[in-house]
Homo-oligomer: A and B are copies of this chain.
Amino acid sequence: MGLVGAMNERFLKACRREAVDCTPVWFMRQAGRYMPEYQAIRAKHSILEVCKTPELAAQVTLQPIERFSLDAAIIFADLLLPLEPMGLRFDFEEGEGPVIHNPIRDRAAVERLRVVDGGELDYVADAIRQARRALAGRVPLIGFAGAPFTLASYAIEGGGSRHYIETKQFMYREPEAWHRLLDKLARVVTGYLRHQIQAGAQAVQVFDSWVGCLSPDDYAEYVLPHVRVIFDGLKHEGVPLIHFGTGTATLLRLMREAGGDVIGVDWRVHLDEAWEMIGHDAAIQGNLDPVVLFAPLHEIERRVEEILKRAAGRPGHIFNLGHGILPNTPVETVAATVELVHKLSQR
């Protein structure tokens, strides 16, 4: 890698709970619809075209890095990509989110799913290599994948969901097929993330975005063992592993048990209380409500200060939102929030 200047190590240090000069910050979906330069690319290319064209994916990955003082980049990709080589066909319908044309509704459909290795998603690895080169060591690059439950919920519902009725019904009525499905997903995700790390991802995040719809007992029984497979499978890869979900206030201990060096938490729980539940032998990432970025700056400042106060300068805090940046978020506010985090957390 042709390094230009010193690498910004804040993010990786915080993942390892080492002291940093100020709190690192990055945002989920920091490359996204709220940015005019992203929209310019999307005017010419679909989401899947961007994902599958490493030059474009790398270019979009760098857009927020060029514009803001973020401490990490995250590869541009979509959670659903691994489902395609497994045998599911999907599209993104404008404003509607993903639509899977052959959702999983029975055991036979689970049996038909192929357990692919990361190789079938080489375009993501290529994008990672290109993004690493373009970043030239400025900030570390994060890889990511969906967690088995969240991927299963898309695969079974056929898209996003409000109540996850089909997903839970499958889980309750076909527990064996459910475990078989999550086992397949866990193995695919593990291989996919390993490929991302080998291609240059310097940390990886597992997104269990929708797991907060489950009771703690259902999480422990139907989900945790499969998430553990992923974290156990990656723990000797030498990069920090981030485990993220939303609505997880009552699942945090179990998520930590499943694995992850860093646990991501949303705004529904106080950061210090979440950290207490997770244990101080793990790092924590969060936890500003993404809608706060629509507030006036003095309100944002008040909330950033509160989060930093609850982190109490303890090594191992990575500032982030509790979920992805929303479309229509003002770009200036994103810039100002990054500056605020750095300024208010100066050691």
Are A173 and B295 touching (Cβ within 8 A)?
A: yes
Hey, which chain B residues are within 8 Å of A250, CB to CB?
249, 268-270, 273
Kindly identify, within residues 239 to 263 of chain A, every residue whose CB is under 8 Å from any CB belonging to chain B: 247, 249-250
Kindly identify, within residues 263 to 300 of chain A, every residue whose CB is under 8 Å from any CB belonging to chain B: 267-270, 273, 289-292, 294-296, 299
A296, B267: Cα distance in complex, Å: 35
Hey, which chain B residues are within 8 Å of A172, CB to CB?
291-292, 294-296, 299
Hey, which chain B residues are within 8 Å of A326, CB to CB?
163, 165
- Map CB proximity to B onto A149-182 as digits: 1 under 8 Å, 0 otherwise: 0000000000000011100110011000000000
- Map CB proximity to B onto A318-339 as digits: 1 under 8 Å, 0 otherwise: 0000000010100000000000
Hey, which chain B residues are within 8 Å of A217, CB to CB?
270, 303, 306
Query: Which one of A173, A268, A326 has the greatest number of beta carbons of chain B within 10 Å?
Result: A268
Hey, which chain B residues are within 8 Å of A328, CB to CB?
165
Determine the residue in chain B with the shortest Cβ distance to A248.
B268
Hey, which chain B residues are within 8 Å of A290, CB to CB?
163
Interface assignment of A215: CB less than 8 Å from any CB of chain B:
yes
Hey, which chain B residues are within 8 Å of A165, CB to CB?
291, 294, 326, 328
With A299-B172, A326-B165 already in contact, the answer to whether A268 and B291 are too (CB < 8 A) is no
Are B249 and A289 touching (Cβ within 8 A)?
A: no
Give the interface of A toward B (CB within 8 A): 163-165, 168-169, 172-173, 212-218, 247, 249-250, 267-270, 273, 289-292, 294-296, 299, 303, 306, 326, 328
Chain A to chain B: the 5 pairs with minimum beta-carbon distance, closest first: A172-B295, A168-B291, A215-B267, A169-B294, A249-B249
